[in-house]
Structure 1
Amino acid sequence: MSQEPQARETFVIVGASLAGAKAAETLREEGFGGRVVLIGEEHERPYERPPLSKGFLLGKQERDKAHVHPADWYGEHDVELRLGVRATGLDRGAHRVELADGERVRYDKLLLATGSSPRRLDVPGSTLQGIHYLRSMADSTALREALEHGGRRVVVAGAGWIGLETAAAARTYGNEVTVIEPEPTPLHAAVGPEVGGLFADLHRAHGVDLRLDQGVAGFWGAGQVSAVVTSGGQEIPADVVIVGVGVRPNTELAESAGLEVSDGVLVDQSLRTSDPDVFAAGDVASAYHPLLGKRIRVEHWANALNGGPAAARAMLGEAVGYDRIPYFFTDQYELGMELSGVAAPGEYDDVVFRGDVPGREFLAFWTLGGRVVAGMNVNVWDVTGDIQAMIRSGEPVDAARLADPKVALSDLAT
């Protein structure tokens, strides 16, 4: 009597994102011969998000350049790409993902790469036309159309990375730009006041009106936004509003399934959740970092790029200790920058500068107890490896040597 053929081992990835697409790629590179299903809510095949506020928004990069893989890659590698469908449920007992169209997909291992969503401003007038949030390719396309002809009054709510990059794009197109930020400097939560003040100088030098120490109280307009009202009672005329006040991790699927969640899906250093058959990577994962000795949730491109493959290898049973140093880059006007490590207020006690700060060609190091915990290179290149080596070493570094351009960074990193 013949037996029924055994079903192929199936790995399902929820989130057709950079992390999800790179996880699928890694599964095939590592020789996984089972079924790979990649599920995405957007109709666009997986793409990288930095161009949305940089090259694509500025019209310098073609849409297709943002895609992770060519369109035919998925079929060629036997990856079932399900686009335009949302995962609505997760039955961990039955090992099934439920989709909005009624389909149920069985899995042996599951990766959650559901990313994050922009935080919304819940203030009067928040539903008016002309208020933009930036997360998707469609968002960036709409914003570019609103900015590219110039001559418009643009108000940006939030002076974080997205706020400053879109402000720079708006000015580059020749628009009048005002940025509203409740903290005393731009990027205050990301890099602290010392370096945040330098970004304030950069944007003021390019004609941006910074309104600091105040938030957004509401929007005025008859259908279309025409003004922004600040918490200080100021009324700022606006044709276009961009809101960049942070993101929240998309944990709804994990929460509904009873996985452990706290500012992200909780995972160990192998990116495994509280369920041994479920993993999480990218923006949505709050991962234990073995080098830092604590949990962190990293929203940047490099974490998706590297976290997806790490999760894939862990799904295959490989020993994984995901300990990448957080890394971020930005381009604003003539300034290019890379940041490694964690530089938030409370995470350091001093900032040491090296190079030409007024000329915007310098390095900055955040130190804690003499140890370098973060480093930034501004218009100085090929130093990220040395900066990250200093962070990894955990050894105290003399501040005078750190500030001295004549001392090679490689000598400080050992």
Structure 2
Amino acid sequence: MDAPIIELAARVKEIKASPTLAVDAKAKALKAEGADVLNFSVGEPDFDTPPHVCEAGKAAIDEGFTRYTPVPGILPLREAVCHRLATDHGWRYQPDQIQVSCGGKHGLYNMAQALFGPGDEVLIPAPYWVSYPPIVQLAGATPVIVPLDEASDFDLDPAVLQQYATPRTRGIILNSPSNPTGSVLSARALEAIGKMALENSWVVISDDIYDTIVYGDDKLPHILEVDPRLSEQTLILNGVSKSFAMTGWRIGYTAGPKHIIAAMNKIQSQSTSNPSSVAQKAALAALNGPQDFPRQMRDAFVPRLNFIMEALTAIEGVTCVRPRGSFYVFPNLSAYFGRQSQDGRVIGDSVALADYLLEEALLATVPGAAFGADQFVRFSFATSMGVLEEGMKRLADALAGLR
């Protein structure tokens, strides 16, 4: 007798696994087989977590701080988040307006589960981070993709936003600096978003995970600084993953209106409970300790950014908006669509091109289709200059090999 086939829930059938993690896994598998793969796909700094942060984690273990903590995170850590938000931005929050989660993605998931449901629409500018639409879908709501234009440096056009807003719109997700483009939303765009949000009672979700990795001296505009009236309908999401090279520690945090955070705590209490106690102690050391590490990382990224931009734009047919933040570039490689490799393979889209680059040039990248922008391919420059130099040479050679 054959075993019965167990049906999966409909929600699982509607979403795909994270493409960035899938590419990273494929690249690591090739590398394990001995291939000299250069990995430009993974979204994490190539720096070790600062020693004082690691020591705090070790001390937590030695001191037996290994049991359950309060669901929203330990009070000292939530107080440290409040202090950072006040010191860095002038925003005043209380600990009961803060939730600490198992990474920034977890905070976004809790938010969507607490706020959205069937019939709701959530505006998501594209290119977008790969997990925004699935997180909205898993809440039963509908992601509405708002296209951004490369010609305007991926800034949001208020007129275009208006075209996609409907009476069912409940919120909008912002990510500035952006993953994958590194672009920044202008004050003009944020003013328009704020006006529409106030008029229509939208919730504004501001994913600020790259806010410490910014190039140039100008202070970037932020939705709460452009229109402080939005504080009661805005959620700020951040974490220590990017700013302190703590991706594996899995600590994110959300700041927002007390009743929304309370609802998110309900969701977290019935899913993961508290984040790791040890990781919380490490994050506390990061937020309360010296704040020069993010600046040191940013300074190290600048020559890499300059190099990769020069290398990319030197390739015939390639255009690339210069990032103002994050550690990604998002070149437009669509000039090579429709061409063939030497073995007759036709490059029809960004997925085919990314596969070609991985198999033929041993370059791991992420296709733009994963970010809602099929003309592009994402490269992380959070790697050594030697890897960047070899990688850009391989890219130029691989593209030149297409006919």
TM-score normalised by length of structure 1: 0.30
| Higher relative contact order, structure no. (Cα contacts within 8 Å, ≥ 6 residues apart) | 2
TM-score normalised by length of structure 2: 0.31
Largest Rg, 1 or 2: 1
Bigger fraction of residues in strand: 1
Bigger fraction of residues in helix: 2
